[in-house]
Every structure is written in structure tokens, then in C-alpha cells.
Copies of this chain bind each other. A is one copy, B any other.
Amino acid sequence: MSQPTKETIEAWFKELQDSICNALEEADQKGKFQEDLWERSGGGGGRTRIIQHGRVIEKGGVNFSAVHGTLPERIQQALKVNSRDFFASGVSIVLHPNNPHVPIIHMNTRYFELAYGTYWFGGGIDLTPHYVQEDDAAEFHQRLKDVCDETDASFYPEYKKWADDYFFIPHRNETRGVGGIFFDRLKESEAHSKESIFDFVKNVGSAFAPAYTHLMHKHGNKSFTDAEKNWQLLRRGRYVEFNLVYDKGTKFGLETSGRIESILMSLPEMASWQYDVQPEDGSKEKATLDLLKKDINWIHLNQ
């Protein structure tokens, strides 16, 4: 069996971007993606696709990029590699819905290749409900577990924990949402060929559109109050805090002079900070805060 090349992988990421954009436009019924092609001065470029003011999606991006060139020494050190030539390709998604009953979602799948046959895959997908719904969280995690189990039954528990640790806001002592899976530096091993790892990454990417369009359909037409909208804006404030303070992809992009409007597509159209908001005991806002914790077994929460 031939190993997937970077050309094959890049081509698949492009197709993934296409199919996700199509599925989201179909589910949204109003919003259309606007495409910006960009080139990187050091080599490569990308297709940024932004959707704004849709029926369900207020603002979001489904971005593809494939860049190559020379790694700055500082980044070589940070990545603990000693190759200067690199290739990196991936798809990055963040979607902020209008309706506070529809969760924010994020996905990233990426491939990194250096000289001398060094490569790895990475990625993740996580869900950030403004109001945590236990059944949605269970269903979302079950989907991800199914995807993981197809390749290796050890993946879900490991990558679920990784997501809990990664999508965490230390200064708030809160997880960003109900988590999902996160993985990095994934490569062939005794257990898995490069092709098998690539299949896993493809399965993660392919799981995105059905998982999210399901939630768009389920919650996108619900009515909501001003108080619920306000809570959504506050939760988006937390999302901004995570992305600007902790997210490694964002940091990497800002430090390496990436295309700033593509990187910061992850930020919501509108977010709010109000002083010391403390939801009342018994409120659904308080119930949500109480569920923004690591190590919750969503799939078996009520069993």
C-alpha cells in the first residue's frame, strides 16, 4: 500500500473544505461563503472562506491553507525539530451561531512535514454550547468516539482527555465548552500505518458537517430571550479570552505573521464583558457553569 503524499493530503483537505462549505450553506439556507485566495510570501497560500449574517451562522470561517518554506529558528526550537524546510497544510473552522441555543463549534485538521521523512498529523474538534445540553454533549462525544474507535479504541479516551486539558481557561478555571477530541504529532507506529492515520484524520474531518448541521437543524429555529442573548455574548467573551491568551494555533499565527484576518476569523462578531457576573443558584446559566469542568464522562453521564 503506497503512503499518502503531501500532495494527496493537501488535495483531500481542499475537498474537505469544499464539502463542509456546501453542507453548511445547505443547512443555513441563507448565508453564503465569501472566498479570499491569499499567497504567503515565503511559499504557498490559502483559501479563506468566511460566512457572515446567515440564518443560523452569524459569523464563521472554514479555512484551507497549504504553506511551505523555511522555518524560523525560534519555531524550530519550539517544535523541537532540526529541519529548516517545512510543509504544512490543514483546514480550520470556527462557527459562531446567532441563536444562543446553537453551540459554537471548532475543528482543525492539519499535516506537517519536514525533511528526512519527518511528518505528523494533528487536529481536534470541540463544542462550546452557550447553554450546556447534556444530550447534545453525549451525542457529540459518541460520534467522536465512533470515529476514533474505527481506527483504535485507545484514541477516544486519550484524545478526549487531551481536549479537556487543551480547551481549558486557567484564569477562569473553566473548560471552554464540553470538549471533544484533540491530538497532535500523530504518525505511523507498529499499530498504524501512515495511511491508517490519514484515514483517521479523514474520518474526523468527515464527521464535522453531520455533527454540526444536526445541531443547526435541532436548535436553529428556537426562540430566545434578551437575557439568553446577553449570556451568549458573555460566553463569547470567554471564547475570545481562550483564543487570544491560550490557543496555540492563534499564537503561532500571530508570531509568524500569518494572514491576520484568516487567523482571527475565530473571533465572534460581537462579544461582551460585564463586571463580575455571578449567575443565581438554580439558574440554567449556573447549571452550565457547573458543567464546564474537565473529566466529565459525557457519554455515560446519566447511566
A interface residue numbers (CB < 8 A to B): 34, 36, 50, 52, 59, 61, 170-172, 233, 237, 240-241, 244-245, 254, 257, 260-261, 264-265, 267-276
Return the contact of A275 from the options B244, B245, B261, B274 (Cβ within 8 A).
Answer: B261
A172 to chain B, nearest CB (A): 7
- Cα-based distance from A36 to B275 in the complex (angstroms): 11
CB pair A36 B276 closer than 8 Å: yes
Which residue of chain B lies nearest to A237 when distances are taken between CB atoms in the complex? B267
Chain A, interface SS category: mixed
Which residue of chain B lies nearest to A258 when distances are taken between CB atoms in the complex? B171
Q: List 14 A-B contacts (CB under 8 A).
A: A36-B276, A50-B276, A59-B273, A59-B274, A170-B254, A172-B260, A233-B270, A240-B244, A240-B271, A261-B276, A267-B273, A268-B273, A271-B272, A271-B273
- Cα-based distance from A241 to B268 in the complex (angstroms): 13
CB pair B270 A272 closer than 8 Å: yes
- Cα-based distance from A257 to B245 in the complex (angstroms): 14
In the complex, which of the residues A50, A59, A260, A271 has the most CB atoms of chain B within 10 Å of its own CB atom? A271
CB pair A265 B270 closer than 8 Å: no
- Cα-based distance from A170 to B260 in the complex (angstroms): 11
CB pair B261 A50 closer than 8 Å: no
Residues of chain B within 8 A of A36, CB atoms compared: 276
Residues of chain B within 8 A of A244, CB atoms compared: 240-241, 244-245
A232 to chain B, nearest CB (A): 12
Task: Give 12 A-B pairs besides A172-B260, A270-B272 with Cβ atoms closer than 8 angstroms.
Answer: A36-B276, A59-B274, A233-B270, A240-B240, A241-B244, A244-B244, A245-B245, A261-B275, A261-B276, A269-B273, A270-B271, A271-B273
